[in-house]
């Protein structure tokens, strides 16, 4: 859960009071949600793998720490020119050949627990559950903590558990720890996801690559990050068809546990696709705070749902093959039109842009209904927007109504900001954190954004990148 711990890093922001003075080029990093899965997939390989365009966010560091505890070796490398100047970075190498697959119970020591996912690290990042598929497929066993609730609601893992059982694995749950074993390897199966799940699709797809026989996964998620990982695995010999559609077919390579000859061969590097959520975040920010902003190194076709709504709202946007440009955006924000949002699986409106989009909608004229269909409880940030003056009605845990425009101020009630002292705002999760940063930047006054470490989970050095666009923002440790 979110803590209001004063020792966390904070962002100190002086708002633009509605002026649109940010400008320049925002360079979009690789998608953390693709890179995290490629890191998990490294367990399927017989040699060191190389991942490129990996964003250096805190979630990537957490996944690296989990893999290291499982016995893998991880290094960040840069490429230098003749003058020892780094010309390419964001490259990670992962060597899983040092993982032996032993458990704590077998070795009688906390060392060499190569199939026990560290509970404390896993608690900090739900995406760690995707590691269970590759670990189970490679070593025939894995243990990991049952996830509890998190700040955006309960996040079950029944699809993973049911899938492993169908693949022939035995599952037990003791003292909050799942223990899964398939000593003879996994078998192919047919599965239908009762709920469309990104992590479920990716994890069972990865596990099926080393299984015996054919796996057919139906009602799959179609997110570009899934395609990114699938294409890499295919280029290294995996037999996967249909990634990016609702049915994925995998012909497993029939591996027996311990047969390292049947692991994948890293004949190609993984190149992370641009982060569509980061790009969407900067586009929404630019719409409110910049007359001219280039969002570079993104994939506009992954952003259709967002661009479409912003275009209808009146924001002037040009799309290029690898960039989006906000151009001649000198209209006052209150002249933009409101719109309704219903979050959906890809290619629908992404739940991860719901909070930044709500901040946008507080500034435009009219009423907007926002229906969150993916996660319950993803509106905790609303109370922070309200302290700035936003007119938002929470209709139920999945739906809010926004009435705009509201010119945000440091403190609606005098005591909130304590006179001249900056007003306190909180990041509740990665994306809600960005939404609050956006809100503070549009507002009049000074703000402290607490829990900035949650923003760091998904945005690399956000404050430096915003500063380069002209924002008045500092990290305070
Ligand atoms: C991923 C993204 C996250 C994004 C989400 C939805 C990563 C690391 N995270 O999360 O940023 O917000 O997709 O686009 O890629 N569900 C079940 N049973 C399961 C698994 C999921 O019912 O076993 C439900 C969830 O509660 C949720 C829905 O499926 O209601 C979708 O969640 P899912 O797509 O699995 O999200 P993640 O993969 O965790």
> What digits encode the pLDDT tens for the residues 171-192?
999 988 999 999 999 999 999 9
Are residue 15 and residue 76 in the same domain, yes or no?
Answer: no
193 within ligand 1 shell (Cβ under 6 A):
no
What's the number of domains the chain is made of? Answer: 2
Whether residue 284 is contained in a domain is answered as: no
Whether residue 300 is contained in a domain is answered as: no
Are residue 218 and residue 357 in the same domain, yes or no?
Answer: no
> What digits encode the pLDDT tens for the residues 432-464?
999 999 999 999 999 999 999 999 999 999 999
Q: Cα 323 from chain centroid?
A: 20
* Confidence band for 109, pLDDT divided at 50, 70 and 90: low
Whether residue 326 is contained in a domain is answered as: no
Report whether pLDDT(141) > 90: yes
Most ligand 1 atoms within 8 A of CB, residue of 54, 199, 345, 433 to mutate: 199
Q: What is the pLDDT of residue 81?
A: 72
Are residue 375 and residue 470 in the same domain, yes or no?
Answer: yes
Poorest-pLDDT segment among 4-18, 128-142, 211-225, 279-293: 4-18
Poorest-pLDDT segment among 48-52, 76-80, 103-107: 103-107
Active site (annotated) includes residue 236: no
Q: How far apart are CA 256 and CA 19, in angstroms?
A: 63
- Of 271, 306, 322, which residue is a domain's last? 271
Q: Where residue 261 sits, what CATH number does that domain have?
A: 3.65.10.10
Whether residue 154 is contained in a domain is answered as: yes
Q: Nearest C-alpha to atom 9 of ligand 1 is from which residue?
A: 33
Are residue 16 and residue 47 in the same domain, yes or no?
Answer: no
Are residue 15 and residue 79 in the same domain, yes or no?
Answer: no
Tell me what percent of the residues of the chain surpass a pLDDT of 90: 85
Q: What is the pLDDT of residue 6?
A: 44
298 within ligand 1 shell (Cβ under 6 A):
no
299 within ligand 1 shell (Cβ under 6 A):
no
Q: What is the pLDDT of residue 176?
A: 87
Are residue 15 and residue 37 in the same domain, yes or no?
Answer: no
Whether residue 298 is contained in a domain is answered as: no
Report whether pLDDT(295) > 90: yes
Are residue 192 and residue 247 in the same domain, yes or no?
Answer: yes
How large is the average pLDDT for residues 236-243? 98
Q: How far apart are CA 313 and CA 262, in angstroms?
A: 53
**What ligand 1 atom has the least distance to the C-alpha of 153?**
26
Whether residue 44 is contained in a domain is answered as: yes
Report whether pLDDT(267) > 60: yes
Q: How far apart are CA 50 and CA 164, in angstroms?
A: 28
Q: Nearest C-alpha to atom 11 of ligand 1 is from which residue?
A: 352
**What ligand 1 atom has the least distance to the C-alpha of 194?**
22
197 within ligand 1 shell (Cβ under 6 A):
yes
How large is the average pLDDT for residues 387-394? 96
* Confidence band for 150, pLDDT divided at 50, 70 and 90: very low
Whole-number average pLDDT of the chain: 92
* Confidence band for 419, pLDDT divided at 50, 70 and 90: low
Most ligand 1 atoms within 8 A of CB, residue of 155, 180, 346, 398 to mutate: 155
* Confidence band for 10, pLDDT divided at 50, 70 and 90: very high
- Of 271, 296, 313, which residue is a domain's last? 271
Report whether pLDDT(110) > 90: no
Are residue 350 and residue 243 in the same domain, yes or no?
Answer: no
Report whether pLDDT(152) > 60: no
Whole-number Å distance, alpha carbon 329 to ligand 1 midpoint, is: 35
Residues 6 or more apart from 250 whose CB is under 8 A from it? 188, 205, 208, 209, 211, 214, 215, 216, 217, 238, 239, 240, 241
Are residue 51 and residue 16 in the same domain, yes or no?
Answer: no
Q: What is the pLDDT of residue 413?
A: 57
Cα–Cα–Cα angle for 104, 106, 109, rounded to 5 degrees:
45
- Of 254, 271, 288, which residue is a domain's last? 271
> What digits encode the pLDDT tens for the residues 253-262?
999 999 999 9
195 within ligand 1 shell (Cβ under 6 A):
yes
Q: What is the pLDDT of residue 106?
A: 66
53 exposure class (CB count in 10 Å sphere: 0-12, 13-18, 19+): buried
Are residue 264 and residue 343 in the same domain, yes or no?
Answer: no
Are residue 129 and residue 172 in the same domain, yes or no?
Answer: yes
Specify whether the CB–CB gap between 466 and 434 falls below 8 A: no
Q: What is the pLDDT of residue 154?
A: 57
Whether residue 292 is contained in a domain is answered as: no
Specify whether the CB–CB gap between 10 and 448 falls below 8 A: yes
Q: What is the pLDDT of residue 3?
A: 39
Whole-number Å distance, alpha carbon 167 to ligand 1 midpoint, is: 21
Are residue 265 and residue 347 in the same domain, yes or no?
Answer: no
Whether residue 315 is contained in a domain is answered as: no
18: left (phi over 0), alpha (psi -120 to 50) or beta: left
Q: Write down the pTM of the prediction.
A: 0.94
How large is the average pLDDT for residues 38-43? 98
Report whether pLDDT(411) > 80: no
351 within ligand 1 shell (Cβ under 6 A):
yes
Q: Which domain holds residue 338?
A: 10-20+333-476
């Amino acid at each position: 859960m979110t803590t209001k711990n004063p020792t966390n890093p904070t962002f100190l922001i002086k708002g633009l009071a509605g002026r649109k003075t940010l400008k320049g080029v925002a360079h979009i990093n690789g998608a953390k949600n693709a890179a995290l899965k490629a890191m998990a997939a490294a367990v399927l390989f017989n040699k060191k793998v190389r991942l490129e365009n990996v964003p250096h966010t805190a979630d990537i560091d957490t996944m690296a720490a989990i893999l290291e505890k499982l016995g893998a070796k991880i290094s960040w490398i840069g490429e230098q020119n003749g003058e020892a100047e780094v010309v390419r970075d964001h490259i990670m190498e992962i060597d899983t050949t040092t993982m032996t697959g032993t458990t704590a119970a077998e070795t009688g020591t906390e060392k060499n627990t190569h199939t026990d996912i560290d509970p404390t690290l896993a608690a900090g990042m739900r995406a760690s559950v995707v590691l269970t598929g590759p670990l189970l497929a490679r070593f025939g066993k894995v243990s990991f903590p049952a996830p509890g609730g998190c700040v955006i609601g309960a996040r079950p893992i029944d699809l993973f558990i049911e899938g492993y059982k169908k693949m022939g694995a035995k599952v037990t749950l003791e003292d909050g720890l799942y223990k899964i074993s398939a000593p003879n390897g996994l078998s192919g199966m047919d599965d239908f996801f009762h709920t469309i799940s990104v992590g479920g699709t990716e994890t069972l797809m990865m596990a099926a690559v080393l299984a015996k026989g054919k796996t057919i996964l139906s009602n799959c998620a179609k997110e570009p990050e899934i395609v990114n990982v699938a294409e890499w695995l295919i280029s290294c010999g995996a037999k996967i068809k249909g990634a990016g559609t609702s049915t994925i077919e995998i012909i497993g390579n029939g591996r027996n546990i311990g047969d390292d000859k049947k692991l994948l061969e890293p004949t190609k590097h993984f190149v992370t696709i641009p982060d569509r959520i980061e790009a969407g975040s900067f586009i929404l920010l630019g719409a409110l705070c910049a007359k001219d902003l280039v969002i570079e190194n993104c994939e506009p076709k992954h952003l259709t749902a967002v661009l479409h709504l912003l275009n209808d709202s009146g924001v002037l946007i040009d799309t290029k093959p690898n960039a989006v440009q906000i151009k001649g955006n000198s209209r006052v924000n209150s002249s933009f039109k409101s719109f309704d949002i219903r979050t959906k699986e890809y290619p629908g409106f992404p739940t991860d842009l719901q909070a930044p989009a709500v901040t946008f909608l507080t500034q435009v004229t009219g009423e907007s209904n926002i229906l969150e269909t993916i996660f319950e409880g993803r509106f905790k940030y609303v109370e922070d927007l309200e302290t700035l003056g936003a007119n938002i009605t929470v209709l139920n845990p999945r739906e809010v109504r926004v009435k705009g425009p509201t010119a945000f101020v440091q403190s609606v009630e005098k005591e909130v900001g304590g006179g001249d002292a900056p007003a306190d705002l909180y990041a509740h999760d990665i994306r809600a954190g960005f939404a609050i940063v956006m809100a503070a930047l549009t507002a009049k006054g000074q703000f402290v954004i607490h829990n900035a470490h949650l923003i760091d989970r998904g945005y690399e050095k956000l404050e430096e990148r915003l500063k380069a666009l002209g924002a008045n923002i500092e990290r305070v440790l």
